[in-house]
Amino acid sequence: MAEGADGASGEQHDQAEGMKAKANQYFKDKDYDNAIKYYTLAIELNSENAIYYGNRSLAYLRTECYGYALSDATKAVELDKKYIKGYYRRATANMALGKFKAALKDYDTVVKVKPNDKDAKMKYQECNKIVKQKAFERAIANDELKRSVVDSLDIESMTIEDDYTGPKLEDGKVTLKFMKELMQWFKDQKKLHRKCAYQILVQVKEVLSKLPSLVEITLSEKESITICGDIHGQYYDLLNIFELNGLPSESNPYLFNGDFVDRGSFSVEVILVLFGFKLLLPNHFHVLRGNHETDNMNQMYGFEGEVKAKYTSQMFELFSEVFQWLPLAQCINSKVLIMHGGLFSEDGITLEDIKKIDRNRQPPDSGPMCDLLWSDPQPQNGRSVSKRGVSCQFGPDVTSRFLEENKLDYIIRSHEVKPDGYEVTHNGKCITVFSAPNYCDQMGNQGAYIHLTGSDLKPIFHQFKTVPHPNVKPMAYANSLLQMGMM
């Protein structure tokens, strides 16, 4: 990965190279934050070196700061038009952001310069295929109002074979007995019968489609709720949460704050268990949409591939329909607002505005729906361009104004890995909770969940470590462009 330098002269040049060498070592040790820090110092000493930007771009890719990665890769190719790795990295960042046409352009450049590079050729073809597929989907969508997958299913006539010994719905209904059997069945790495999976999806779509975009609940003095952040297909860690904190029930309600799927390779198991509990306890088990309950993300980060491997593409289409009905935010006792990403790119948005969002669609590139799924807090006041390349970053002043205007106490959001599993920022007004410990088997972070009780709504944090899982690597079903893109 490391290469030589050009640009600045003498002492500065040597210092910059020293910083780069340090950064390369941190990168090798997977300490990407320190790698970024030292690449930045190298750039400050010599801002004309394309490789420093290219290397920092790669470190940003690894920390999912796709907006920053894109900007660094662009700077690298501006400084050196022949710097092929710069085009590669920019393409990877664009792919991660679902900007397939822009990615294709860069892969095209790489293939022209390196016609015999098998990897480049494969990426170009794969990306080209996606661009064509997207164009085809748009054409169909314009031709006719898309029929629901539910209309083309005949679940009643699906037979459950005699040799299937797994859990089945009782008279077509989810029961606690079914849920316990299902969790064990999945734990043993077995597959739920497709008929049962379809029954759950059709029923949960019905339940979710009746909910508003902003769900409001009231906890009495003595009632409490457990709030969990991203799970990302880490099924065995989800089971551990239920082990530590008790199974969901009317007296033990839960809220899962988006990003149930993708990356971890047990996303199907996670989502079917969560949806099963939603059916069992419609008023005491809550699920909100994350930025990964979307087609673009599922296509890249593994959920689509996993559903197709375990079931069919038709089932993925149904998942996609169901995801569009997931509510976008939840308010507890008119005091605590919970969403996956964060606050808005502009002031003046009210709870009423959130209620009015037409959510039954893929999220747009900007606006309140996009912000709820994608934005992140920042330590300084004001707003700035997102490190992710989507939505924005918002400061403590933005949070404070929003809370005041809407008579709220604080917000809880997820969306970012935190070493301790949670983080309290913006003077205690913005809380992040993340529930996928040792994220992607490599981050070493703890997971956490939050208890809130109606009497004081004071957040109590519970941390937990990862548990072993079967030997299926994260991203096993991800798009090959992402698996190999980060050379």
Catalytic positions, written as ranges: 292
Size of the chain, expressed as the number of residues it contains: 487
Paired with 449 in beta bridges are 228, 462
Nearest CA to 412 out of 445, 448, 384 is that of: 448
Contact of 271 with 260, CB cutoff 8 Å: yes
- The CA distances from residue 425 to 5, 295, 416, in Å, are 39, 31, 13
Which SS3 state, helix, strand or coil, does residue 307 take? Answer: helix
Which SS3 state, helix, strand or coil, does residue 148 take? Answer: coil
Distinct helix (H) and strand (E) counts, the chain: 18, 14
Q: How many CA atoms lie within 13 A of 142 on its CB side?
A: 6
- The CA distances from residue 161 to 181, 193, 238, in Å, are 18, 9, 30
- Helix axis angle for 194-209 and 267-280, nearest 10°, is 60
Tokens of 88: 């590669």
Q: How many CA atoms lie within 13 A of 291 on its CB side?
A: 27
Number of CB atoms found within 10 A of residue 157's CB = 7
**H-only helix segments in 262-395:** 267-280, 295-301, 303-310, 313-323, 351-355, 368-374
Task: With residue 413 as reference, give the H or E element that holds it.
Answer: strand 410-413
Query: CA-CA distance, 394 to 410, in Å (whole number)?
Result: 14
- Helix axis angle for 66-79 and 84-96, nearest 10°, is 160
For residue 346, which amino acid is it? E
